[in-house]
Structure 1
Amino acid sequence: MGISVNTDSTVSRTGSFVRIMIAYLLAFAVAAAWLIWGPATAYLWLDTLVADLLATLVIFAFSRYYGNSSFYDAYWSVVPPALFVYWWAAGDVGIDAVHCWVIAVVIGAWAIRLTANWAIGWPGLQHEDWRYPMLKSGAGRAELPVDLMAIHVFPTIQVFLGMIPIYVAVTQTGAVAWLTAVAAVVGLAATTLEYVADGQLRRFAAHRTPGAVLDTGVWAWSRHPNYFGEVMFWGSMALFGLAASPGDWWWLFVGAVLMLAMFLGASIPMMEKRSLERRPGYQDVIDRVPRFVPRPPRSASHPPDQVTA
């Protein structure tokens, strides 16, 4: 199992955040040290990938030490802005500033919202995302490599692939203005949808009774509107890349497609299996509410805005 010090009963929420901040400051310091003093690969994207993986290993070390893989949770939203800023600063090929600032606004809004949503809802080191213990306990003797690869390294690579279109967008001089505008609208709409969905979920969770299910608001139109919004955001990243290099259309959406595959093939099935086990009324939601893409719910034997206990 490796070194594990579980402090869930002794560390306050404030103390938990302090430890998270220390972990991420150290991770960014290691990444920066590699970029400054490490051997260059002659490829900017590869240099940053190595730095990204080194930072991931630092977070993994904290996860193992504290016995809580939720140290990694914030990584998903704090690294993309750092990648964007570094690529923009290091690219230096005369990229249109307006084009880059539009991207900055979209990524910044998404990152601030997602990080804030995590911080508001995270109770501290006494909590670990329920999926992590399930994955680790099911791995048996392979628990450590599963923790490293499935929970830490794989998401890092997935997010990096999702950001590659932004690398293209800030290192190539071409830009299709109208497509940049479309990408911005899609990205901001995605962030707005996630904000609304997570806000409704948070208010529901604060007052729910055992077995209750959420099927009101945007959750009446999709069983996973927050996930749909997240896939929309990564689609907007691909559109920014497409605006900069239309000829590369055939591979710029790889990251977004992988995101879609992860949510449809792994995250959503895990969430729905758990909901069915814990909430008998969730089967009725499945029967009425679209799984992913928002659209009007199907009719049922009771009003669609009813909360089933």
Structure 2
Amino acid sequence: MGDFARMALASAVLLAFIQCAAARWSRRASRWAVADVVWGPGLAAVALLGLLTGHGGIARGFVLAVLVCAWGARLGFHVWRRLRAHDEDDPRYVRMADGRSTATMMLRVFGIQAVTQWIVSLPLQVAAVSADPHGITWPLTILGAVVTAGGLVFEAVADRQLEQYKQLDPRPRIMDRGLWGWSRHPNYFGDACVWIGVYVIACSTWPGPLTFASPVLMTGLLVWGSGARLTERAMDGRPGVDEYRSRTSMFVPWPPRTR
């Protein structure tokens, strides 16, 4: 338990440093959305920390580091490109900042994100100080790796399809092509799969199963927190959106309903 305590503390310090740097960047850029850029890379940094400083099994730690770093780097670059393409800040943060002081926003955005990242990264922390699985538990690691890799690809394809849609001229009123015809939020679904897979990998040795707060929190945020729920609210009133909602699954991909 001492090894985990040290890893948990080291992860907390690392994430606090990353969020402080992000807060400084945010102030210089006058953009609260900088927080979204560092979300993925921050979790990837914890995976690397575990691989380089943890005393757990090398094989599983390497698999986790590769998968989470690939996910974090892609997501961070994707959000950074989106940030650069617009001069104004994300409307979510603009609404959040209304009537609040800068200090309050710093704590609300970057402080809460650091705590959230620490909880989400619990499977990585536990895996970093746990031995590699043996015998019958290896298939669990393989299953988790497949789910994580599949979620990464699913999210990347969904983001790419959305980018292509935004470049169309004229643009259809509703994006219901490709994966978006089976789920209204396929990118968020892929993101959830990544962290469900990471949790499954951690479950291959004890006390990995105890880190269930990670996928629960991540999925909750993606569905009811800052993900799908806010996007659905922004879609209210658009022409064709009610019909799209009536035939398309909200989160889990499913064949579209036919009348």
**Superposed pair shares fold, TM > 0.5:** yes
Deviation at 1:78, TM superposition (A): 1.1
Deviation at 1:210, TM superposition (A): 6.8
Which residue in the other structure is 2:194 paired with?
A: 233
Aligned counterpart in structure 1 of residue 246 of structure 2, from 287, 291, 300 = 287
In 1, Cα distance between equivalents of 2:82 and 2:218: 23
Would you say the 8 A contact 2:223–2:229 is kept in 1?
A: yes
Structure 1 residue runs of 5 or longer lacking an equivalent are: 1-40, 301-309
Would you say the 8 A contact 1:163–1:237 is kept in 2?
A: no
Coordinate RMSD, CA, aligned = 2.2
Name the CA shift for 1:58/1:119 in 2 (closer, same or farther; >3 Å). Answer: closer
In 2, Cα distance between equivalents of 1:115 and 1:100: 21
1:195 maps to a residue whose letter is A
Would you say the 8 A contact 2:123–2:208 is kept in 1?
A: no
Deviation at 1:125, TM superposition (A): 6.9
Q: Which has the larger radius of gyration?
A: 1
In 2, Cα distance between equivalents of 1:239 and 1:136: 37
Equivalent position SS for 1:69: coil
In 2, Cα distance between equivalents of 1:76 and 1:220: 27
Matching of residues 145-164 of structure 1 within 5 Å: 145-164=103-122
In 1, Cα distance between equivalents of 2:65 and 2:32: 29
Name the CA shift for 1:282/1:237 in 2 (closer, same or farther; >3 Å). Answer: same
The question of 1:299 aligning with 2:258 is answered: yes
Which residue in the other structure is 1:118 paired with?
A: 79
Which residue in the other structure is 1:43 paired with?
A: 6
Which residue in the other structure is 1:257 paired with?
A: 216
Would you say the 8 A contact 2:189–2:252 is kept in 1?
A: yes
Equivalent position SS for 2:118: helix
TM-score scaled by structure 1? Answer: 0.75
In 2, Cα distance between equivalents of 1:215 and 1:276: 16
2:45 maps to a residue whose letter is A
Equivalent position SS for 1:74: helix
Would you say the 8 A contact 2:15–2:117 is kept in 1?
A: no
Identity %: 25
Would you say the 8 A contact 2:183–2:251 is kept in 1?
A: yes
2:223 maps to a residue whose letter is L
Would you say the 8 A contact 1:109–1:188 is kept in 2?
A: no
In 2, Cα distance between equivalents of 1:270 and 1:125: 19
In 1, Cα distance between equivalents of 2:20 and 2:72: 21
Q: Give the paired residue count.
A: 252
Which residue in the other structure is 2:155 paired with?
A: 194
The question of 1:276 aligning with 2:236 is answered: yes
1:172 maps to a residue whose letter is S
